[in-house]
Amino acid sequence: MATVELRFSALPEHVRTARLVAAAVARRAGVDEAVLDEVRLAVGEACSRAVGLHRNGGITAPVKVALIEEEKQFSIEVGDQVPHPAPGGAPGALGDDAEAEEDEMGLAVISGLVDDVEVSAGEEGGLIRMTWPTTPPAALPLN
């Protein structure tokens, strides 16, 4: 399984918790301190977007966040459980235009911040995967 997994009810007040946990795990994984602000912002954007999609779609399932520590890299996956229509499918699934604009704004910020980002969507829901390089911590001297 992922290093740390979170599931939270799709409520705006929990997005901050996800940001704090993600930043803490990223720091431990060896993500550069200078990049932690970006990690915090990007995961917040992805979670806010998922919360919005769940609320607009009347989905009661939780938003899922997986924090994955791998060799030389750290990834965060934020998954919503809103079925996304295939391209060319039924329009209007995102509700009105304002909601669609907010959704795009969040994605714009993520793609501006994170070099390595994949956005996928299917019938089961959408997933944003963001990856940052890590530097292994220097071996600490043991007393």
Partner 1 sequence: MDLSLSTRTVGDRTVVEVGGEIDVYTAPKLREQLVELVNDGSFHLVVDMEGVDFLDSTGLGVLVGGLKRVRAHEGSLRLVCNQERILKIFRITGLTKVFPIHTSVEEAVAATD
Site for partner 1, rule CB under 8 A:
12-13, 15-16, 19, 37, 40-41, 44-45, 48, 51-52, 102, 105-106, 108-109, 112-113
Contacts of 45 (CB under 8 A, 6+ apart): 106, 107, 109, 110, 113
User: 66 vs 110, which CB is nearer to partner 1?
Assistant: 110
CB of 19 to partner 1, least distance (A): 8
- Which stretches of 30-77 are DSSP H helices? 33-56
Q: How far is the CB of 105 from partner 1 (least distance, A)?
A: 4
- Cβ distance to partner 1 smaller for residue 93 or 113: 113
Instruction: Name the minimum Å distance from CB 45 to partner 1.
Output: 6
**CA 22, chain centre distance (Å):** 9
Q: Name which of 70 and 104 has its Cβ closer to partner 1.
A: 104
Q: What is the DSSP string of 88-107?
A: TS-TTTT-SHHHHHHHHHHH
Q: Tell me how far, at minimum, the Cβ of 3 lies from partner 1, in Å.
A: 24
Q: 89-101 in b/e burial notation, b at 16+ Cβ within 10 A?
A: eeeeebeeeeeee
User: What's the rounded Cα separation, in Å, for the pair 15 and 6?
Assistant: 11
CB-nearer residue toward partner 1: 69 or 102: 102
